[in-house]
Chain A
Amino acid sequence: MSKQNKNKTGFFANLENSPSTDEFIKGLWRDNPVFVQVLGMCPVLAVSNTAINALAMGLATAFVLLMSNILVSSLRNFIPKQVRIASYILIIATFVTMTDYAIQAISVELHKALGAFISLIVVNCLILSRAEAFASKNTIGKSMLDALGMGLGFTFALFCLGAVRELMGNGSIFNIPIFPDNYQEWVVMILPAGGFFTLALWLLLFNAAKVNRTEVR
């Protein structure tokens, strides 16, 4: 995972000048919605106790983000300014309801695990903030790229959290045991408290990287 990610950042360095790729790339790393902007925390912490849940939640959010960005952007000249927030919320709630049913249709088990938190994507500040700050001012193509980047960045961050929590708390990743049987699980990592701690640690890493960078400069 980390290797792949390095590739992405290297790739990003080469193409920084091309504006359309930048819309896509910025969400993955530089403006990562979770680690840098600290947005949309509720689902991040609640369902990131296993890698698979984290991934599913991330993809669901990314899908809602993509669809609502497309719709908001294509209607941007049609929606009056005064009622824009209400319209955005309406659009987002629609896609969340659709995703909710889609997930139920894919797997009842998965829906059981994600539970009420699918519905809570509606109030994920990330989606509303992208609709307001980006999609309402840009073309459909740009908004799509922005949503894809932000969505994937969000999924990536969720996965980072979920993988660490599952590895520490359950000794496995994707239900595949990693540590030997006599590994004593840190149950606390799967508990709510573990979510706070893991996120704090990841933010610490990002902060350290930022401080390092500024000192080098």
Chain B
Amino acid sequence: MSKKNPIQKNAQTGSLKMLWSMAGIGLICAFLIVMTYEGTLPRIERLKAEALEKAIFKVIPGMTKKRTFKLDENNNFIEISSDEKDAQLVYAGYDDNDKLLGIAVPASGMGFADILHILYGYDPNKQAVVGFYVLESKETPGLGDKIEKDENFLANFAALDVALSDGNTTLKNKVVTVKHGAKKNNWEIDGITGATISSRAIGNIMGESTEQMVPLIFKNIEVFK
């Protein structure tokens, strides 16, 4: 087309060709990305759900069945069949005889490097936190990531006291992290030397979440049973 008068039309065809080739490459790229996304999505979701399921079974010892609940705007819990985005979910765990063993609550907050996502198990009979698991953390390997591995630290969550005060609306004692070795009471978390900030962040997240969620769960305990 442009061969007749190459000098005159060169610039124009040049930019047209550029546009075409960019569009072509964009098309190939878009095709590849969408293919991969569609292809891997079901498996990714399944793996993520499996990982969460495993965590839930870990934080509520002895459970065999799970039911998911959502906290609605009026602070009531409603059972839902599948996970919903952007809602405060809790997972209730039951044994073989459908007896309520505990409730797993996800919580998140700022750690040292990035946002920490944790899951803890609350046992309404014992009025205590009975399990703890870090869902997602980017804490410094070797220091901050001790919150996932340090046995002494994890032992804090075998029985962490979150008993309610007389009116059942607040906790008797808010959960806090104290310096390593300074733990005296059951509602305190023994910190980690070398991971002071990360372990303190866990204390803050737990403190805030339990203060909000435990009275709510206790108020609605009939829903879970």
Contacts and interface: CB of A to CB of B under 8 A. Distances in A.
Q: Does B bind A?
A: yes
Nearest to B22: A83
Given A78-B21, A97-B36, A108-B47, A190 B141 contact: yes
A30 B152 CA distance: 49
A50 interface: yes
A102 interface: yes
A49 B142 contact: yes
B80 interface: no
Interface string B15-37: 00110011011101100110011
Contacts of A180: none
Interface of A: 49-50, 71, 75, 78-80, 82-83, 86-87, 90-91, 93-95, 97-98, 101-102, 104-105, 107-109, 112, 115, 169-170, 185, 187, 190-191
A104 B47 CA distance: 9
Interface in B99-147: 136, 138, 140-143
Contacts of B24: 78
A105 B29 contact: no
B21 A87 contact: yes
Contacts, number: 73
Interface in B128-179: 136, 138, 140-143
A174 to B, nearest CB: 15
B194 A105 contact: no
Interface string B31-50: 01100110011011001100
Given A80-B18, A108-B51, A93 B29 contact: yes
Contacts of B181: none
Given A102-B36, A108-B48, A90 B140 contact: no
A76 B10 CA distance: 20
Contacts of B6: none
B22 A94 contact: no
B96 to A, nearest CB: 29
Interface of B: 14, 17-18, 21-22, 24-26, 28-29, 32-33, 36-37, 40-41, 43-44, 47-48, 51, 136, 138, 140-143, 194
A191 B44 contact: no
Contact of A191 (B22, B51, B136, B142): B142
B79 to A, nearest CB: 26
A90 B25 CA distance: 8
B44 A79 contact: no
Given A83-B22, A94-B28, 6 more contacts: A75-B25, A80-B14, A97-B36, A105-B47, A107-B47, A108-B47
Nearest to A79: B21
Nearest to A113: B141
A105 B18 contact: no
B36 A169 contact: no
A109 B137 CA distance: 11
